[in-house]
């Protein structure tokens, strides 16, 4: 933990560490633990006052199955990892934000005690992702109070215990949207409606039932929010049916925009490394194009569950240990390219035919409902791998197990992820 003595000592200095992690969420914390267990001197930078990332303020259960092999609430999951990191001797710097890179290529951080440059042998970016706010969705209307994302809703309600409102409309119908519904109902806010531009809900029936309990919520499908009404405080939303173009309004004092994830990619962009859509391009060992720079968690696949991010953090840590030991960085690789309707792939680069992607899985997402059909990995018109799917659901993770026998030609062109609709 940063103490006043530490701060005074480091202010304005170049710090040397073996590994520096930016982001104290599940990916960064899991990576830091594995690095410590390999004897690596690791410092972790977190801009918030406490460790844990998003799970700190996501009060429902559902965290930890694949990494901890038990199910915890978000805050318990965050506290578990934070306690382990402190016990393991990770050098933790809270209220410290990584802002940019120096001319020498050192990561620069700023905190109440000033700026520090970090001359780290390896840097892991684990900065997560955020939901696209109303401004980025270009919804017309004034800017009244009461317009939130799930993240801000849960921070206001569960971290700062502030009143939310009385009647809300939730925009989105994916897993995180039901997390928002759960938070609203738990805090006594009625949910007037859910609205999605897709033709159906994108979440599981069980998750919907757990979130909504005995409340029956109207779900408006194929519907856009075309205006927010109200000047001081939200009075309602105006909705439009995408098929009939009919418009109507729903009175409410709170609007929660959910999902539509944007990775926190600024440090990757300014480093600079190659990007793959909104994510820094990484190979199956979570290496970017810049030697010594790694990326993991929702920064490279926005947004997967916390346990997937933690496992990715561990994978990055193994990769960092390899790099610190041998100093090798792959020179060549082939790009993995997502063709429409796929939005992106993770990993987005393959650098060895012998190593499979993280957990032996390729992650991706689609723009709209599809199915049945076949997902194909194609290189130079050669189908490397094909897997049948009865349907694909937008805003939901698609995970493709890859065979260990997958052989990619590293001297050929990109590998393309394609969809072939069944006839």
Ligand X SMILES: Cc1cc2nc3c(=O)[nH]c(=O)nc-3n(C[C@H](O)[C@H](O)[C@H](O)COP(=O)(O)OP(=O)(O)OC[C@H]3O[C@@H](n4cnc5c(N)ncnc54)[C@H](O)[C@@H]3O)c2cc1C
Task: Classify strands 72-73 and 61-63 as parallel, antiparallel or unpaired.
Answer: antiparallel
Nearest distance in Å: CB 249, ligand X = 27
Q: Which of 127, 202, 349, 351 binds ligand X (CB under 6 A)?
A: 127
Instruction: Pick the closer one to ligand X by CB: 256 or 408.
Output: 256
Nearest distance in Å: CB 62, ligand X = 3
**360 CB burial (10 A radius; 0-12, 13-18, 19+):** middle
What tokens were used for 213? 């309990």
Helix (H) or strand (E) holding 364, with range, is strand 361-366
DSSP string, 282-344: --TT-B-SSTTEEE-GGGTSTT--HHHHHHHHHHHHHHHHHHHHH-------EEEEEPTTEEE
Judged by CB under 6 A, the chain residues 208 through 267 that form the site for ligand X are: 264, 267
Q: Which of 2, 41, 48, 235 binds ligand X (CB under 6 A)?
A: 48
DSSP 405: T
Candidates 228-236, 305-313, 329-337, 348-356 — which segment interacts with ligand X by CB under 6 A? 305-313
Rg (alpha carbons) of the chain, rounded to whole number: 22
Nearest distance in Å: CB 293, ligand X = 14
Nearest distance in Å: CB 63, ligand X = 5
Report how far residue 28's alpha carbon sits from residue 296's, in angstroms, rounded to the nearest whole number.
Answer: 8
Judged by CB under 6 A, the chain residues 7 through 26 that form the site for ligand X are: 22-26
Binding flag, residue 311, ligand X (CB under 6 A): no
The β-bridge partners of 141 are 228
Q: Which of 155, 201, 298, 345 binds ligand X (CB under 6 A)?
A: 298
Instruction: Pick the closer one to ligand X by CB: 303 or 320.
Output: 303
Binding flag, residue 47, ligand X (CB under 6 A): yes
**167 CB burial (10 A radius; 0-12, 13-18, 19+):** middle
Judged by CB under 6 A, the chain residues 82 through 101 that form the site for ligand X are: 97-98
Instruction: Pick the closer one to ligand X by CB: 344 or 419.
Output: 344
Report how far residue 78's alpha carbon sits from residue 340's, in angstroms, rounded to the nearest whole number.
Answer: 36
Binding flag, residue 55, ligand X (CB under 6 A): yes
Instruction: Pick the closer one to ligand X by CB: 95 or 352.
Output: 95
The β-bridge partners of 15 are 118
Binding flag, residue 179, ligand X (CB under 6 A): yes
Nearest distance in Å: CB 128, ligand X = 2
Report how far residue 7's alpha carbon sits from residue 354's, in angstroms, rounded to the nearest whole number.
Answer: 45
Judged by CB under 6 A, the chain residues 276 through 295 that form the site for ligand X are: none
What tokens were used for 271? 């480093």
Binding flag, residue 364, ligand X (CB under 6 A): no
Q: Which of 309, 350, 362, 415 binds ligand X (CB under 6 A)?
A: 309
**12 CB burial (10 A radius; 0-12, 13-18, 19+):** exposed
Binding flag, residue 28, ligand X (CB under 6 A): yes
Binding flag, residue 46, ligand X (CB under 6 A): yes
Q: What Cα–Cα distance (Å) separates residue 118 from each residue in 6, 100, 103, 258?
A: 15, 11, 12, 35
Q: Which of 20, 27, 107, 366 binds ligand X (CB under 6 A)?
A: 27
Binding flag, residue 58, ligand X (CB under 6 A): yes
The footprint of ligand X on this chain (CB under 6 A) covers a number of residues equal to: 37
Nearest distance in Å: CB 217, ligand X = 17
Residues in touch with ligand X (CB under 6 A): 22-28, 45-48, 53-55, 58, 62-63, 97-98, 126-128, 150-151, 154, 176, 179, 264, 267, 297-298, 303-307, 309
């Amino acid at each position: 933990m940063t103490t006043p003595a530490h701060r005074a000592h480091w202010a304005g200095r170049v710090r040397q560490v073996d590994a520096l992690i930016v982001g104290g969420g599940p990916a960064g914390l899991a990576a830091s633990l594995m690095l410590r267990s390999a004897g690596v001197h690791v410092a972790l930078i977190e801009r918030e006052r406490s460790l844990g990332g998003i799970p700190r303020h996501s009060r429902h259960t559902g965290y930890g199955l694949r990494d901890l092999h038990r199910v915890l609430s978000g805050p318990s999951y965050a506290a578990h990892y934070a306690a382990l990191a402190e016990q393991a001797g990770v050098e933790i710097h809270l209220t410290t934000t990584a802002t940019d890179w120096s001319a020498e290529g050192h990561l620069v951080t700023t905190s109440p005690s000033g700026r520090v440059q970090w001359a780290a042998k390896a840097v892991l970016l684990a900065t997560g992702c955020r939901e696209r706010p109303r401004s980025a969705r270009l919804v017309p209307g004034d800017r009244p109070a009461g317009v939130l994302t799930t993240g801000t809703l849960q921070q206001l309600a569960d971290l700062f215990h502030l009143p939310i409102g009385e009647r809300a409309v939730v925009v989105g119908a994916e897993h995180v949207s039901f997390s928002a519904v759960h938070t609203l109902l738990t805090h006594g806010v009625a949910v007037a409606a859910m609205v999605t531009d897709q033709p159906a809900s994108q979440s599981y029936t069980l998750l919907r039932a757990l979130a909504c309990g005995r409340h029956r919520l109207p779900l408006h499908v194929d519907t856009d929010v075309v205006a927010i009404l109200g000047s001081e405080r939200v009075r309602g939303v105006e909705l439009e049916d995408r098929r009939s173009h009919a418009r109507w309004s729903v009175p409410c004092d709170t609007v929660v925009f959910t999902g539509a994830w944007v990775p926190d990619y600024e440090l990757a962009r300014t480093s600079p490394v190659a990007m793959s859509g909104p994510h820094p391009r990484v190979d199956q060992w979570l290496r970017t194009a810049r030697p010594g720079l790694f990326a993991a968690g929702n920064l490279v696949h926005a947004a997967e569950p916390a346990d997937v991010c933690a496992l990715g953090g561990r994978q990055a840590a193994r990769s960092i240990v390899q790099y610190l030991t041998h100093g090798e960085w792959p020179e060549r690789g082939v790009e993995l390219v997502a063709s429409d309707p796929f939005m992106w792939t993770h990993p987005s680069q393959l650098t060895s035919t012998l190593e499979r992607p993280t957990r032996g899985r390729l992650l991706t997402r689609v723009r709209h409902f599809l199915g049945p059909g076949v997902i194909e990995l194609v290189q130079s018109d050669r189908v490397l791998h094909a897997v049948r799917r009865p349907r694909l659901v937008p805003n939901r993770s698609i995970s493709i197990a890859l065979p260990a026998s997958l052989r990619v030609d590293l001297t050929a062109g990109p590998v393309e992820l394609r969809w072939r609709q069944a006839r």
